[in-house]
Amino acid sequence: MAVSRQPVLKRCRSLGIEPAYLGIFKKSKKQPVQRNRKISEYGAQMREKQKAKFIYGVLEKQFRIYFARASKMRGIVGENLLALLETRLDNALFRFGFARTRREARQIVSHKSVLVNGKRVNIPSYNLKTGDVVTITEKARQSQRFKDITAATSSVIVPAWLSADKERLQGTVVSIPTREMVDIPVNETLIVELYSK
């Protein structure tokens, strides 16, 4: 399986993203170099795609598959794409506050510590539907790791399309997210324009 091993803060600086969107609250000591270069239309489109891929931890091949699925769905393609990315199991765990970062959420899922509707799921890209109940397994819940996670994420605000029970480490998908419910700094229209060429 391909894994992105880019230094997170360096990549955040180059894309102009706040590390907080990834669940990282460290600050880089280096300041981004200010260049007065004009970005072309293609460059702006490419940058938005790279932002979305980096935030959700998705590589190019998988991202193309998501775009193809979003194109076949009813509604606005860009919003469909963001909804598909948001309803990934690893992203939902991060949004519930059951993981500090999306990378950690991905690892938790891969280690078979998550149940969806009572069944063990170890695929981070598993897409959740309305009504799905996500639970952390009993064994994982009692580990020191999850005690640390719940202490670190106690102040995390759960988005409106999800509901979470932090004590039982259980969350429910209330609805599919709309664009207003997704707070990431990405212009999905530019991504659609890039893939439509």
Report pLDDT for 8.
67
Among 17, 170, 178, smallest CA distance to 93 is for 170
34 assigned to some structural domain? no
Q: Residue 158: helix, strand or coil by DSSP?
A: coil
User: Are residue 144 and residue 164 in the same domain, yes or no?
Assistant: yes
Q: What is the CA radius of gyration of the chain?
A: 17
Mean pLDDT within 154-167: 88
135 assigned to some structural domain? yes
Render pLDDT for 175-186 as a digit per residue (tens, 0 to 9). 999 999 988 889
Q: Can you give the residue range of the structural domain that contains 118? A: 88-175
31 assigned to some structural domain? no
| pLDDT beyond 80 at 98 | yes
Among 32, 50, 87, smallest CA distance to 191 is for 50
59 assigned to some structural domain? yes
Q: What's the pTM value of the predicted model, to 2 decimals?
A: 0.84
Helices then strands (H, E): number in the chain? 9, 5
Instruction: Calculate the average pLDDT of the chain.
Output: 86
User: Are residue 119 and residue 168 in the same domain, yes or no?
Assistant: yes
CA distance 109 to 124: 6
